[in-house]
Amino acid sequence: MGISIGTRGSKLALWQTNHVKSLLEAQGHHVEVRIYKTTGDIQQDRPLHLIGEKGLFTKALDEGLLNGEVDIAVHSSKDIPTRLPEALEICAFLEREDPRDVLLALGPEVDLDNHSREFTVGTSSLRRIAFVGHYAPQFKAKIVRGNVDTRIQKMEDGQYDALILAYAGVKRMGRMDRVVRKLNVNTFTPAVGQGAIGVMVRSDNPVAAAVRETLNHQETEWAVRAERSFLRKLEGGCHAPIFALGTVTLDTLSLMGGVAAEDGSVLYREKVRGPVTSAAELGINLAEIVLNQGARQILNGQKS
């Protein structure tokens, strides 16, 4: 079967796409790749949450799917909006990489436990900014954009003392040399879908079944679908510090998630568990718990 893949042109996106390509080719499929440029790629001079558009890294590829230009699109799952165009669906989630955040620095003295001086940490994530404010106020967050190598170069040039990035991206780009600490998921809880690759398809495309059979990792799917259900119920995205992580043990799914104020002054985090077959319901239940605890006020305040 011939399968065409749409992807962004960043180094990380191409790594993910080539990984998918190799898995499909191993099953005898002929695969071609088409590169798209998205709003998130074009607008590198503004923080993501200020661009004011949903699907910053996916919309152009969605259009390619809808127009029949490509069969599938490969994304970092955390970039995929929770509400998709009606004709599109996520047909597969690849086995998840370690979902944690990592602290990168030029030396071990730059650490979240070191309160001897102030540090500047680069990030483009409201979630990470909130966590820094809550757990490590001696770190002052400063917006940084660009790919992994670009951000590390800016740190090495002295613009930042440290960076906080996703372990998965740093590992895939071969830059673990600058990692000084993996951050605990009970404090720096990951973004929804972090570490997982998602594959989008038009629902009526006949390649969907073959792609799912080859690529889908069921435990990752249960976990990420629960996280996405949580996020969808909160109606959040790049505009609010929302976080969640699902983990599967046998037939039980544990889901931890919450919401923080942008400055980290207030943070709500709870955990629920249930059967893996109730992933979507668990996400909704957790969202309702967090909203009733006080997260609704945070979200309403940030929407106003």
Catalytic residues, by residue number, are: 79
> What is the number of other CB atoms lying within 10 angstroms of the CB of residue 117?
9
Beta bridge partners of 267: 260
3-state secondary structure of 148: helix
3-state secondary structure of 193: coil
C-alpha span between 221 and 189 (Å, rounded): 18
Nearest CA among 16, 4, 24 for reference residue 213: 24
C-alpha span between 76 and 169 (Å, rounded): 9
C-alpha span between 64 and 67 (Å, rounded): 5
C-alpha span between 153 and 144 (Å, rounded): 11
Nearest CA among 2, 256, 222, 195 for reference residue 90: 222
C-alpha span between 109 and 116 (Å, rounded): 10
> Taking a C-beta distance cutoff of 8 angstroms, is the pair 8, 57 a contact?
yes
How far is CA 110 from each of CA 87, 149, 169, 242, 291, rounded to the nearest angstrom? 47, 19, 21, 26, 35
C-alpha span between 166 and 29 (Å, rounded): 31
> What is the number of other CB atoms lying within 10 angstroms of the CB of residue 45?
6
**Residue 212, CB half-sphere, CA atoms under 13 Å: how many?**
14
Q: How many helices (H) and strands (E) does the chain have?
A: 11, 13
Structure tokens at 25: 């080719």
